[in-house]
Amino acid sequence: SPPEAQNHFPGGPYPQVILPQFGGYWIEDPEAALGTPTSSDSSFCEEEDDGLSPGGEGGFGYRLECNSISRAYRKHFLGNEHMNYYCTASSMGHLIMSLKYEEADGQESLRIMLRFHTLHERIPLEGLLQLPSVPQIAKLLCDDVTGLKFNPVLYPRASQLIVSFDEHEVNNTFKFGVIYQKFGQTTEEELFGNNEETPAFTEFLSVLGDNIELQDFKGFRGGLDVSHGQTGSESVYTTFRQREIMFHVSTKLPFTDGDIQQLQRKRHIGNDIVAAVFQVEPTPFVPDMIASNFLHAYVLVQAENPGTDHTTYKVSVTAREDVPPFGPPLPNPSVFKKGPEFREFLLTKLINAENACCKSDKFAKLEERTRAALLDNLHDELHRQTQATVGLGSTTDEEKLENGGHGGLLESFKRAMRVRSHSMETMVTHKHKSPGVTAGVPSSVSGGGLQQNSVECTKSTFTPPVLSAKSPLKSPVKRRSGLFPRLHSSTESPTEKHPTRSDQKTEVLPQSQEVRSETSSNPSSPEICPNKERWVSLWFLSSSSSGTADVIPVLDCVDI
């Protein structure tokens, strides 16, 4: 644990924060120029197009720093003409590319988003005779990638899936810890053991937000209990630039008698990423005095002349070594008058601190694993939906029919062929079971030229043994077209073209009275038309009960 402040700086004055004995943290220097992520990291930028004034809520010039790539697809692609591609099993794993043609001020360019670690670039087309191919573009953005084979995304709702993936890390809700530090307190147990709230601390909390009752609270609760009161009865909450913020105030969380560590308080504040430390009197804060795997940054606020019209706040910032610098930079001297400017600076600093902490090694590795898993899921879903759209899904025909699935154009065609097959089987069965009917059935209808007479073929092919001749089988599916035209017989035996499938068994379903014949040729299929005939295909759209459009083919054979 850190030594007592009095031993470090006998007689004072004391700094707001001192570095731990073994390092691991940095302290922001107001006199040094801050290398903000805005200028040093192209993946970060100041917030844009949020409908606010250029300087933020109050026009003080404090800007929120965000990951511009996360919002690039919504801003530049969504709702505009563009194309999406997916690549399977490249040397860098699955890839998703979005491509958009742009023309401005007579200059042509391509805007590209390539997702693996996600690159967002805009390349000019000046001097190019033709547009580069998708693999060439991917190679241009990432020279190390090989094994590129891109496929176009043909799913109509692909943009919604892609924008959800891109914005999975966009956060509009934040929770920050607020710790009250009295003079001379240098241990974790002392900090979490404070119960009373001085007028100066209450005044500071009013700058952060509003006091709210937790019971039945409808806003962002930040992990606090709003039903049973197990995390206290009230807290501090605010909204800032379309973001919700809940503060875990140490003095408002439940206090447990006999618990030196006050785990009820630490389990909330210790799981926050950023905390504000309010200091009544000058006492150094050492950032490692609170043992936590999550707390990465602290904003320290010290009140001067509290409760007066001349209240000012002195601010210091410290964070772990792997946390990049974040704005807005501290002024020199880092002292603010109580008012809206101080509130805007403090809330902006807290939000930017959390965004910067997410780029530290620990959180970045976790985010990388999460992103890789989500990218694989996005690739698989785009591939599956694209295959389903063009009717090339891997699901079997029977499973799709049983589940009521629609597999695109090919499945609609197969479904229509089944309907007409059942209708034709019913007509032929009825004709041979009715008294007085002795005429034979053409070979193209009765069984594709099997070596049997027409009645035997009908019995073995269409009539289940459990059905009575007096009860002709009715088709379980309603016919969708008029009378099926009589097919002309052919002098050429169909067996010369198609192998006989009489060895297959007929499937009989006596419970549903449904009969399926796998041995008979499909009378509505173009394969049964003789060589001297041709078939004409007419397509009609029929709205199904599920709201999708089924394509119903009507096939007819006509003489040449």
Region 346-361 average pLDDT: 94
Question: Which pLDDT belongs to residue 10?
Answer: 52
Listed as own residue / partner, the contacts of 214-222 with beta carbons closer than 8 Å and 24 or more positions apart are 219/244, 219/246, 220/173, 220/175, 220/244, 220/245, 220/246, 221/246, 222/173, 222/175, 222/246, 222/247, 222/248
**Statement: residue 485 has pLDDT above 70:** no
The lowest-confidence range among 15-29, 62-76, 141-155 is 141-155
Residues 191-241: pLDDT tens digits?
999 998 999 999 999 999 999 999 999 999 999 999 998 999 999 999 999
Write out pLDDT tens, residues 272-293: 999 999 998 888 999 999 999 9
Q: What's residue 392's pLDDT?
A: 84
Q: What is the CATH number of domain 5-43+171-358?
A: 3.40.50.11210
- Contact of 408 with 472, CB cutoff 8 Å: no
Choose between 326 and 2: higher pLDDT: 326
Stated pTM of the model: 0.64
CB 346 within 8 A of CB 327: no
Share above pLDDT 90 across residues of the chain, in percent, rounded to a whole number: 40
pLDDT at res. 117: 63
User: H or E stretch including 155?
Assistant: none
- Cα 427 to Cα 424: distance, rounded to the nearest angstrom: 5
Residue 547 one-letter amino acid = G
Cβ distance 275 to 178 under 8 Å? yes
Three-class DSSP category at 216: coil
| pLDDT tens sequence across 419-445 | 666 666 666 555 555 554 444 444 444
- The torsion of the CA quartet 148, 152, 153, 155, rounded to 10 degrees, works out to -150
Tell me the domain boundaries of the chain.
5-43+171-358, 67-155, 398-559
To which residue do tokens 């479904």 refer? 415
Higher pLDDT, 456 or 186: 186
Which pLDDT band holds residue 243 (cuts at 50, 70, 90)?
very high
Task: Give the residues across from 150 on adjacent strands.
Answer: 87
Q: Are 349 and 342 in contact (CB under 8 A)?
A: no
Cis peptide before 13 (omega within 30 of 0): yes
Instruction: From the options 3.30.930.10, 3.40.190.10, 3.30.1120.160, 1.10.3370.10, give the CATH code of 67-155.
Output: 3.30.1120.160
Strand ranges in 25-126 using DSSP code E only, listed in sequence order: 25-27, 44-46, 65-67, 83-90, 93-104, 107-115, 119-124
310-343: string of b/e by CB count within 10 Å (b at 16+)? Answer: ebebbbbbbbbeebbbbbbbbeeebebebeeebb
Find the mean pLDDT for residues 535-539. 42
> What is the residue-wise DSSP string for 416-439?
HHHHHHHHHHHHHHHHHHSTT--P
**pLDDT tens digits for range 75-116:** 999 999 999 999 886 777 788 999 999 998 888 899 999 887
The residue ranking higher by pLDDT, 258 or 252, is 252
Of the spans 232-241, 405-414, 507-516, which averages the highest pLDDT?
A: 232-241
